[in-house]
Amino acid sequence: MAAHYYTVTWDQLHRDARALAWRLMGLGPFTGIVAISRGGLIPAAIIARELDLRLVESVCVVTYQDQTRGEPLVTKPPVAAGDGTGFLIVDDLVDSGTTARVVRALLPKAHFACVYSKPAGRDAIDSFVTEVSQDTWILFPWDTEPQFIEPLARRGGL
């Protein structure tokens, strides 16, 4: 279980994905984007818009079930991207680097970018915007919902 949690709102995700697009602008031009499903789909759509890219491919890799990591399984390869030449791979987060290494092996010539990075996976990608500690679990807006919580004083300061 994670020691820390970092909540990302829709607004923050949008700002961070646009910041990543800004960093990537000078590295192109790119032919298209490969979004890693599912977490990379929304950041890839934002980045595709900002970089004015119309070719969006996806690769589906199952690595996590809730907060439990398993062996990666490619359930849909990114056929349209060939060996990755001219393509940008986008994911929400690189954690241990397991998924990134699997996708990198499929698309060795692509540029790999993530919005968020943890230290253990940083060497598996080329670009990122925000780094969090390895023991932090990022709560993405598609995995959470806002709800009322008791004030700290009523919860005994917890």
Catalytic entry in 11, 66, 83, 92 = 92
* Rounded to 5°, angle at Cα 134 from 40 and 84: 35
Kindly report the CA angle at 124 between 8 and 89, in degrees rounded to 5?
65
Whether 101 contacts 85, CB under 8 Å: no
The C-alpha atoms of residue 62 and residue 11 are separated, in whole angstroms, by: 27
Which of the residues 11, 52, 95, 135 is marked catalytic? 95
In the chain, what are the helix, strand and coil shares in percent, each to the nearest 5? Answer: 35, 35, 35
Q: Is 92 a catalytic residue?
A: yes
Backbone angles phi, psi at 145, to 5 degrees: -145, 145
Asked whether the beta carbons of 50 and 20 are under 8 A apart, the reply is no
Catalytic residue among 52, 91, 123, 143: 91
Q: Is 135 among the catalytic positions?
A: no
The answer to whether 123 is a known catalytic residue is no
- The catalytic residues are 91-92, 95
